[in-house]
Chains A and B, each alone.
Chain A
Amino acid sequence: MVQPLDIFAAASAEGAWTVSEVTKRAKSVIEAGLPPLWIRGEITGFKAWRSGHWYFSLRDKSAQIRCVMFAKQNFRLPTPADGMQVFVFARPSMYEEKGEFQLTVMELLSTAEGGLWKLAFEKAKAALTKDGLLDPARKRRLPPFPRRIAVVTSPDGAALRDIQAVVGRRWPVAELIVVPAQVQGNKAEASVCSALNRISRLPVDVLIVARGGGSVEDLWAFNSERVARAVAAMPMPVISAIGHETDVSLCDLVADLRAPTPSAAAEAATPDRAEVLVKCGVLGQRLARALRIASRHVVERLDRAGDRLVRCMDHRLEVSGSRLTAYGSRLDALSPLKVLGRGYAVARDADGTVLKRVAQLPPGKEFQLRVTDGEVRGRVQ
């Protein structure tokens, strides 16, 4: 015989569980029985809180489950929308305060082609297109000889090193203004916008926004509509080099020039100094040649005048020359040597005094006698 249960007798303070005990027990039963798992469903009742946490439900035709995805898990993701089919990787649990069965979502993937990223990208792109920001006519020409080149990038990345090397080699004449920014993580969007805002108030000729390669999540800041609009609003031309050549970001699309790599961006931003120097040399040569040509008729006149001058002088010299010859022969006739040649001689004493009179030649006086071909010594007897 089974005794009927006396439920009233069993209802005692000692026999009953408290609410907290039940939810706590339920939580441990759920967590022990349902390890983290992938679940497929449709998003409904999506709400993002100020804290960054997301709350929504996953449902199918006959059931639904409350879900939470905390900010530290969702910061890399574009925001999903109601009606979207997704996969979530989640830990089933009990939200004890409300006694609700709940999923704590750790991963969320869109099942649509390309995932959530693609959808968010297309949505932002459509908004930018609508505002004319992707119009090719908006693209500005890069300055041919930039004096100040600004760079927004990670301060310790390879992108900055590459840019610095290329600009240093090609155009060291410039000044590189580096504005460091966080290029990945949940602060990247705000950090890049802030850096852009800072540069927009500096006297800069051209800006390079660069980020090395990475996963689609890593590059997300450069696909944000906010960053794209900030890039489009920059007062100077912008060169964008985000990720690898195959990744095209919104930032690339709104920039005035898209470069495949940070090095290529630096190359596009600068002329080659060696080439500019050659150009200067050619201009210098053309300048000199042009002056020669411009002054040609003046030079011709000068030449003619010079020729006439020379002719005049030649004539004068010729006349003077024949007169000199005449003087020469007259001088020659008067030369003492000529006289000596005719048989005369000159007597001089030791001092060189010419002895012309008898009184100068007492007996015993020594003298030198100059005849036509030399000298002889002699003494008066």
Chain B
Amino acid sequence: MAEFSKQLERLEAIVRRLESEDLDLDEALKLFEEGVERLRVAREQLAQAELKVKKVLEIESPS
């Protein structure tokens, strides 16, 4: 889940930025909103309850 990985990385970056920098409130709020949204999406992605199993039939190699 490449998207999930990115989601989490971005979220971590947002948290670190919010924690470490003196931001004006506008900017802090924007980051916060983005963080909350990414957290929501990440949780949604984790919500799939059951493993999907797909069988792919082997195709004969041309040799």
A interface residues with partner B (beta carbon < 8 Å):
143-147, 155, 164, 167-168, 171-181, 190-191, 193-195, 197-199, 202, 205, 273, 276-277, 279-280, 283-284, 286-287, 290-291, 293-295, 298
Contact = CB atoms under 8 A, between A and B. Distances in A.
Given A280-B43, A287-B15, A178 B49 contact: no
Contacts, number: 117
A290 B39 contact: no
Contacts of A191: 58
A147 B1 contact: yes
Tell which of B2, B12, B46, B63 has the most Cβ of chain A within 10 Å.
B46
A360 B29 CA distance: 79
A280 B35 CA distance: 11
Nearest to A178: B55
Tell which of B46, B51, B53 has the most Cβ of chain A within 10 Å.
B51
Main SS of chain A's interface residues? Answer: helix
Nearest to B1: A147
B1 A286 contact: no
A225 to B, nearest CB: 15
A175 B4 contact: no
A156 B61 CA distance: 22
A277 B50 contact: no
A294 B18 contact: yes
A249 to B, nearest CB: 20
Contacts of B58: 179-181, 191, 194-195, 198
Interface string B18-62: 110011010011001001100100110110111111111111110
Given A145-B1, A172-B48, A172-B49, A280 B39 contact: yes
29 contacts: A143-B2, A147-B1, A172-B48, A172-B50, A174-B1, A175-B53, A176-B53, A176-B54, A177-B54, A177-B56, A178-B54, A178-B56, A179-B55, A179-B56, A181-B58, A191-B58, A194-B59, A194-B60, A276-B46, A277-B43, A277-B46, A280-B43, A280-B46, A283-B15, A287-B11, A290-B28, A291-B32, A294-B18, A294-B22
B11 A290 contact: no
Nearest to B20: A290
Contacts of B59: 194, 198
Given A198-B58, A295-B25, A144 B15 contact: no
Contacts of A167: 51
Given A172-B50, A283-B11, A286-B19, A198 B56 contact: yes
A295 B24 CA distance: 8
A64 B49 CA distance: 69
Contacts of A178: 53-56
Given A173-B1, A205-B2, A283 B39 contact: yes
Contacts of B5: 143-145
A287 B39 contact: yes
Contacts of B61: 190, 193-194, 197
A322 B32 CA distance: 49
Nearest to A190: B61
Nearest to A149: B51
Contacts of B8: 145, 279-280, 283
Nearest to A193: B61
List the 4 shortest-distance A-B pairs measured between CB atoms, nearest first: A290-B18, A147-B1, A294-B28, A194-B61
Contact of B4 (A147, A155, A286, A295): A147
